[in-house]
Amino acid sequence: MTLAAPDGQVRDVTIGLTDKPADTYRKGPGRARTIDGIEYLPILEMWGADASPSSFAAVRAGLERACRADGLVIDIRGNGGGTRDVLHLVASYLLPPDAEPVVYSAARALVWPGRDQAEVEEAFARRYLFMPEHDRWSERERRAIARFVEGFVPEVQLPAGRFGPLHVSVLSPGGEGGGRLAGTPVVVLMDERCASASDVFLAAMRCIPGVTLVGRPSSGASGMSAWHESPGVAIKLSTMVSFTSDGRVLDWHGVPPHVPIELTPGDFTRGGDDTALAQALELVRTQAARPEGR
């Protein structure tokens, strides 16, 4: 690097590579607050009430404040995942009360000799994944699942002998939020650090009308991974194939934003610009100003 001082002196300097990734300095969620009538809700982790009561309560409180705001910006940049409990809480506020249930993800588990199917079903249940014929589904959900299965075309065909039956996750109207934010302009901020349950959160948000995703594509990581160890080496491998509602393999593609954002140097400096947040707030203001905005 060539440095030039104000007095005209010039010096070449060699700078070594840092062992810290660039995204250490990238903008991410700030503190929850109201910005010009718009509720800004950072979600730092996806853990539910059992695993992280305070974090889950903070999300609930932010959604309640949003019911009195002109719009909502949810910021999950840098969120590495957790469980799908937060997703279902947020969706209960966003889905219109008269909406049809929607399948937002599907998955099939890898089969190998000795794998305990009961453990697989338990792991799937924690991810809100159940077989289409499961008795938990309501009649409306069964009809929605039947329509989904009939039109489902996965981008990769999995051999029946190596993968178990299809399981699906469904969002239905109602629940705690009662659809009170339906029609409210909502923007979700995302980036390539979003993984696991955050990937699935974004995939589900794309299924809800009126939600706009802003930022950079997510990482794509929803394979229910497990460690495999041999002397001197340990490898973490996926044990299921997770699909988005349009049949794409989540781990191959991640989730794309509706509005891509290119980062600027200010996004990497302390106190500098936050390009994505500025764009998100502008989108909410524009949508709120329209007659059909709410």
SS3 content of the chain, % helix, strand, coil (to 5): 30, 20, 50
Q: What are phi and psi of 278, to 5 degrees?
A: -60, -40
Classify residue 192 by its DSSP letter: T
Task: Report the distance separating Cα 201 and Cα 81, nearest Å.
Answer: 9
pTM of the entire predicted model: 0.88
For the domain spanning 30-103+171-289, the CATH number is 3.90.226.10
Q: What does the pLDDT look like over 143-161, one tens digit per residue?
A: 999 999 999 999 999 998 8
pLDDT at 96 over 50: yes
The residue type found at 44 is L
H/E stretch holding 62 reads helix 53-66
| Mean pLDDT across the chain | 91
Domain boundaries, the chain: 30-103+171-289
Distance CA 163, CA 153 (A): 16
What are the tens digits of pLDDT across the range 16-50? 776 665 554 456 677 899 999 999 999 999 999 99
The span from the CA of 44 to the CA of 94, in Å, is: 20
